Structure 1
Amino acid sequence: MRKFIFILLSIVVLVSCHTGEQGDDVLLDKGIKVFRYDRLQYEATAMNSLAALQKMSLDCPRATKILIEDVLMLGRVDEPNINERLCAYYSDTILLRIMQDATEKFKDMTSLEKGFTDGFRFLKEEIPAFPVPTVYSQISALNQSVVVGDSLLGFSLDKYMGENYPLYRRYYYDYQRRSMTPERILPDCFTFYLLSLYPFEWRPGHRSLYDVILHQGKIHWVVRQALGYKTNGEVLGYTEKEENWCKEHGKELLKWMTERGHLSSTDPMLIRAYTHSDPNMILNGEKLPPVVGLWLGMRLIERYMKQHPDVSIATLLERTDLGSVTLD
């Protein structure tokens, strides 16, 4: 199962999922409210509520279209028997249990809503034209953690039940489960929303590991600023030990990567090794922290911003060529 998917679709107003007629300033003044689409799913499938099923289709057409066509891949949303297929899919006993557990675990969204509001306010202040999305929660049947569309951002509660959630132990490795906690919802959502607005440009001369970690680094660094994290490691979900290792060995690691031609490599497997959560890289007999390339990218962006105090966050995000940056 892939954890993330980027779905870039045309704008469609979600009537009940959010008052799409309101502008970003009004939305942020009132504060972001997470629309509980997951509750509609539960009522429609577990409780056989026709009213909830109709509300999903009529009041939240975009969220329903993404769920049916792109997340679950059950068919086209306009097929005659698609509602029956959807209900049958969620009638699975495991999914019913997940929906019940998610409803219980996420009774209160106040903390998350504050995080979304503060983060989007920060980005709106830095980038006046920044589009603030409608935010909703769903149950994706353990598929995508985050879905993104034009002015739409959804996250799947069933992918953030906590690393010790019993069901996860049956289907996921330890390194996967550590990122499946409620604390990862905000950084994941902001990271992938920003990546949808500022995608990496795969072009000749701009596809090396160095290019990738700089781009990923600037996205994660901006997320750190927006959410007020104290360290780069917090954004990536590092333990204190992993954070300290990176601080102690960052320059050594960068030198090691340069000497072996890793930074200039365009090998997708090598790039994945530095940017994927599976910790399988070894340096001097020690296993490197997961996604260590992203930590390095954030550290390089920190250095770049100190060297260029006139560069705003808006400018940083727009730039695709940051030149050569070192940790010296």
Structure 2
Amino acid sequence: MKQLTIYQLILIKCAVILLILGLPACEGTKCTEENRYEKVSVDLKVERLEDQLSDLKDVDDVLRLFQQNRVMADYFLDANQYPNDTILAKRLFRLLQQPSIDTLMMDTKSYYSDFDQNVKELTSAYQFIKSNYPNQEVPKIQTIITGFYNDMYISDSLIVIGLDYFSGENGRYFPNDIPRYIVKRYMKESLAPIVLSFVSNEFNLADQTHGTLLADMVNLGKSYYFVEQALPCKADSLIIGYSSKEMEAVLKNQEVIWANLIENELLYETSHYLKNKIIGERPNIAEISENCPGRVGGWIGWQIVRRYMDQNPDVSFTDLMAERDAHKMFQQSGYKPRNIND
């Protein structure tokens, strides 16, 4: 057996702690995977539209903003659902005059005053995507603050991000349509993973034939794996949106969670109601345990996909994304969860 140096042992110990707690890299270590594709040419253009909103003087200025950003106006602000732009422009201008919007703008701009790390992560992610899909277009990124009107719009050519939705609990106002347990994980460290989880849908050919919980779990697992490969330095907790406590709970109780799914014959369940209990948004899954976080089915699916790739080294990343047979992947993964204890 190959002997490990003291430094290697320290790194391994650090990695285990990170995996359990979902924390940033240990001091003195550096993610060596971050610049794997730095030679891949990517020109990621970013436009901060919230700065332009602060300079709008009248409705005509708003109309010009719409014309200069037609896709954003039509699909992020839903201008194409109005008889004409003027109606929406008047509403937006009135909104921008509200004192609460000034506060929201100030809080969000302060929180995102340094957007460089987000740009760096998204640029690195698109370098990875381009290395696997050379013909893939690199979209333009626009950020905006609209008083929680919309959170995100994604297409091949444009991604619009409502930064006010992604400030977590760092401001004085929160969106009314999102539960607080979700709001708290929508922060700037999670912005790139959230964006890329939606981007992955373009490449992730999902298993839509079986309709089972297992298929849904693996489909979600492929999405998390996509983000993991695009952002190799990002902690698992930030990719899936778990707190360190929730991350620790699933790692320590993998066998219990898996046994619950098997004993209750849920893997091949097709009821949307029952499936949603395991993969849907919930503060916890009380049917398993009060300490079991919601969406745990997606996390299990992620572990199945990881195991499948470990067991099948000849399967490329693009092969994985194109694979539709979730049940075959599960069978070939040989997934057998083991608890990680203190």
TM-score by length of 2: 0.76
> What is the percentage of aligned positions where both structures have the same residue?
21
Contact 2:260/2:288, CA 8 A, preserved across alignment:
no
Provide closer, same or farther for how the CA distance between residues 77 and 310 of structure 1 changes in structure 2, counting only shifts above 3 A: farther
After superposition, the C-alpha distances for 1:48-93 in whole angstroms (9 at most, x for unaligned) are 3744x35422321111111331xxx783374454322332344344
Counterparts of 1:214-253 in structure 2, within 5 Å, are 214-229=218-233, 231-253=235-257
Q: How much does 1:209 deviate?
A: 1.4
Instruction: Give, as a single letter, the amino acid of the residue that structure 2 aligns with 1:62.
Output: V
Q: Where do 5+ consecutive residues of structure 1 fail to align?
A: 1-24
Match 2:303 to one of 296, 299, 302:
299
Aligned partner of 1:195 in structure 2 is 201
> Are 1:34 and 1:109, in contact at CA under 8 Å, matched by a contact in 2?
no
**Counterpart code for 2:162:** S
Give the structure 2 partner of residue 48 of structure 1. Answer: 58
Q: Which amino acid in the other structure matches residue 257 of structure 2?
A: L
Verify: 1:67 aligned to 2:69, yes or no: no
> Is 1:261 aligned to 2:269, yes or no?
no
For 2:250 and 2:210, how far apart are their aligned partners in 1?
A: 26
Contact 1:138 1:155 in 2 (8 A): yes
Q: CA deviation at 1:99?
A: 2.2
Corresponding residue SS for 2:45? coil
Moved more, 128-137 or 79-88: 79-88
- Cα distance between partner residues in 2 of 1:156 and 1:169: 11
Counterparts of residues 180-191 of structure 1 (less than 5 Å): 180-191=186-197
Q: Give, in whole Å, the separation in 2 of the partners of 1:184 and 1:244.
A: 18
Change in CA separation of 1:143 and 1:236 when aligned onto 2, cut-off 3 Å: farther
Q: Distance in 2 between matches of 1:254 and 1:183?
A: 30
Once the two structures are TM-superposed, the CA of residue 200 in structure 1 deviates from its matched residue by: 4.0
Amino acid at match of 2:58: N
Q: Which one has the largest radius of gyration?
A: 2
SS of the residue aligned with 1:154?
strand
Q: Residues 226 and 216 of structure 1: is their aligned pair in 2 closer, same or farther, counting only changes over 3 Å?
A: same
**Equivalent residue number for residue 12 of structure 1:** none
| 1:153 paired residue number | 159
Unaligned ranges ≥5, structure 2: 1-36, 337-342
Match of 1:327 in 2: 335
- Change beyond 3 A, Cα 1:284–1:108: closer
Superposed displacement of residue 296, structure 1? 0.6
**Conserved in 2, the CA contact under 8 Å of 1:140 and 1:156?**
yes
Residue aligned with 1:305, SS = helix
Mapping for residues 1-328 of structure 1, pairs under 5 Å:
29=41, 31-44=43-56, 47-48=57-58, 50-51=60-61, 53-69=62-78, 75-76=81-82, 78-168=84-174, 173-198=179-204, 200=206, 202=208, 205-229=209-233, 231-282=235-286, 285-322=289-326, 323=328, 324-325=330-331, 326-328=334-336
Secondary structure at the aligned position of 2:55 is classed as: helix
After TM superposition, the score normalised by the length of structure 1 is 0.79
